[in-house]
Amino acid sequence: MPTGRTITHTILAAVIAVASFSLYSHRLEFAPPDVQIDEVLISVNANQIAETGRDFRGNLLPLYTQTAATSWYQPWVIYLTAASVKVFPFSEWSIRLPAVLMSVLSVVLMFLVVARMAGTAAGVASAVMLALTPTLFIHSRYGMDYHYPIPFILGWLYCLLRFDAGRNSAWLVGGTAILGAGFYCYISSIVMMPLYLAMTMMWLYMRAEQPRAYGLAAAGMLPWLLPFLVWLVLHPEAYSATVVKYGLYDSEKLNAAQGLRSSFSFLSVGQRLSQYWNYYDPSLLFFGSGIKVQFSTNLVGVFLLPMAALILGGIYAALKRRAEPFYLIALLGFISAPFAAAIPTEENAIFRALGLLPFGVLLASFGLQQLWSLEAPRSLVLGLRGLSLFGATFAVAYGGWSIATGRGMPASAVPLLVVAIVAIVATQLPGRIWVTRMAVAGLLLLMPLQFASFWSDYFGPYRERVSFWLGGNIRGALEDVIARVEPGSATPVYFAPLKAAAGNLDWRNGFLDAYWQFYVLKHQRADLWDRARSVDDKDLTSLPQGAVVVSNVENTAVNELVKAGTLREVARVNEIDGRPFFIVLQK
């Protein structure tokens, strides 16, 4: 029979899931405003597998899906996206749905982990802190897999807690099996999941478990690695391609052994240590400085600003209780989260180190508990009392002066007065613990307020700031062409080079074919799948009559043909900021 606590947790988990889904799925097709190229490649390949069971290279249900010479996508994102587009119509919403669901699962698991460890209230607070983490929100709205490790990490921790409570070996095996499955969720997991297995062994050692437990832990994860090893033997080119893609070393000059040795050279280690420390720069963690605009509004950090105090308190609490395995693992998980991300030569790539998020929130939950039971120093109480009296006096005086001069009650006066009165009452209560609790309550209150500001920017000005980096309004141009070419017609479609007036080629040229496939799938126009092709400027004059051409307003060769009457502009596609970039023409 389920206990009252189990029923309560089940109900709360359901409520948290619904609330998180509502938050994360809000206007999913509206923001991000454009589909990022990785989303395109993932979804087009996933749709191919969903429809035929094979990828574009003819491989039956491939373990890793190759989309380019140096790119293989992890199976979880491919197959979850395939399932989504099999159930729902192919669209921006359906390809992003799996990412949303993975984040909802993460928030629910965060609640279950902390509720089991510290109680229901702490569990709810931790779930809210994770749900309101800006970086998780942003990554959850891309149809990509950067945040996929988070539910696997939390599922593993939950199983360890259940094993620790009842010594049921099934929970231990289940926890490490989750790590094994998580090995395939994101490329950094190839490094991080074995590291978490090592932390599991540390947990068992600290609990003085019998040798059998170590064997069971290994047996839960290691069989999951066999498919990867077999696949790597069958695809040796994947290793060298990955080295090239992430710039690990010069594969043209060095073999694998030499490359590995060069990775541990004095200069290489120094560079990676510098990158590692950058992930703990407060300007990055709490202000968003230096993160790619696709993954940050740059007006808010990886975590909300009030989390800084809670995480610091949690680090202190974890150090005090480091003899307890869960506290030590939370601390080590936070410290080790950027290990894999520091291997490529890429600065501030927080999207490769999102394991920081669950461990950061766990530390914040420790800090919340630590501060909630801490008595404030008497000097702090007296100082706060004086400051509160001054605040209340100022609020009354400012409000009265404003009313007397005919300006009405200022919006800030009432909240300031309320906060000051609450602070005065708290400093008069017996026991100085109430002052600390009021400060903690203030931090918790500031989180949704800062998140609301982030939310407003994300669905507003940020869409304009990020649009170019996501490819701009390619959708507007290609959907115009798709609507223009009637079903059953033989009208050919051409992509003229996108380039600046000075002749510099645009980075989007190499991806137009993939975007075309995406929007053809979205509009269910299979007849157009192979209709579009690229064409050089010099060949534009020889296009067949009626051909539709996509170009951009600064392509001088195209503009000259328009002036000569060879091509006719039929549509000009504006970006979010109102400026035109793409144009649609017809021969």
| Per-residue confidence (pLDDT) for residue 376, from 0 to 100 | 63
Query: Across-strand partners of 407?
Result: none
Cα–Cα dist 114/463, whole Å: 35
Q: Which residue has the tokens 């720069």?
A: 281
| Per-residue confidence (pLDDT) for residue 266, from 0 to 100 | 63
Question: What DSSP letter does each residue of 255-270 carry, written as one string?
Answer: -HHHHHHHHTSHHHHH
SS3 of 33, please?
A: coil
Angstrom distances, CA of residue 165 to CA of 162, 387, 586 = 5, 47, 71
What count of other Cβ atoms lies within 10 Å of the Cβ of residue 129? 26
| Per-residue confidence (pLDDT) for residue 432, from 0 to 100 | 63
Neighbouring residues of 420: CB distance < 8 A, sequence distance ≥ 6: 388, 389, 391, 392, 395
User: Lowest-confidence range among 103-112, 183-192, 415-424, 459-468?
Assistant: 415-424
What count of other Cβ atoms lies within 10 Å of the Cβ of residue 285? 21
pTM of the predicted model as reported, rounded to 2 decimal places: 0.91
Percent of the residues in the chain that have a pLDDT greater than 90, as a whole number:
72
| Per-residue confidence (pLDDT) for residue 271, from 0 to 100 | 78
pLDDT bracket for residue 256 (50, 70, 90): low
H-only helix segments in 459-501? 461-467, 474-484
CA 203 to chain centre: 29
Angstrom distances, CA of residue 5 to CA of 11, 120, 306 = 10, 9, 30
Token digits of residue 92: 């921006």
CA 30 to chain centre: 17
- Give 79-122 pLDDT, tens digit per residue: 999 999 999 999 999 999 999 999 999 999 999 999 999 999 99
| Per-residue confidence (pLDDT) for residue 476, from 0 to 100 | 96
* Length, in residues, of the chain: 587
Q: Which of 369-378, 442-451, 543-552 has maximum average pLDDT? A: 543-552
Question: What DSSP letter does each residue of 216-231 carry, written as one string?
Answer: HHHHHHHHHHHHHHHH
pLDDT bracket for residue 399 (50, 70, 90): confident
- Give 114-165 pLDDT, tens digit per residue: 999 999 999 999 999 999 999 999 999 999 999 999 999 999 999 999 999 9
Q: Is the pLDDT of residue 267 over 90?
A: no
| Per-residue confidence (pLDDT) for residue 302, from 0 to 100 | 96
Residue pair 111/127 in contact by the 8 Å Cβ criterion: yes
Q: Is the pLDDT of residue 545 over 90?
A: yes
User: Lowest-confidence range among 267-281, 443-457, 508-522, 530-544?
Assistant: 267-281
Cα–Cα dist 217/214, whole Å: 5
Token digits of residue 416: 């300031």
Residue pair 583/569 in contact by the 8 Å Cβ criterion: yes
- Give 311-345 pLDDT, tens digit per residue: 999 999 999 999 999 999 999 999 999 999 988 87
Cα–Cα dist 497/513, whole Å: 12
Neighbouring residues of 562: CB distance < 8 A, sequence distance ≥ 6: 568, 569, 585
Cα–Cα dist 477/574, whole Å: 9
Residue pair 337/353 in contact by the 8 Å Cβ criterion: yes
pLDDT bracket for residue 419 (50, 70, 90): low
User: Lowest-confidence range among 218-222, 388-392, 557-561?
Assistant: 388-392
Bond from prior residue into 32 cis (ω within 30 degrees of 0): yes
Cα–Cα dist 580/237, whole Å: 42
Token digits of residue 360: 């950061």
Q: Which residue has the tokens 């000005």?
A: 461
- Element (H or E) spanning 121, and its range? helix 120-131
Q: State how beta strands 493-495 and 548-552 pair.
A: parallel
Residue pair 180/193 in contact by the 8 Å Cβ criterion: yes
| Per-residue confidence (pLDDT) for residue 53, from 0 to 100 | 96
Q: Mean of the pLDDT values across residues 528-538?
A: 93
Neighbouring residues of 6: CB distance < 8 A, sequence distance ≥ 6: none
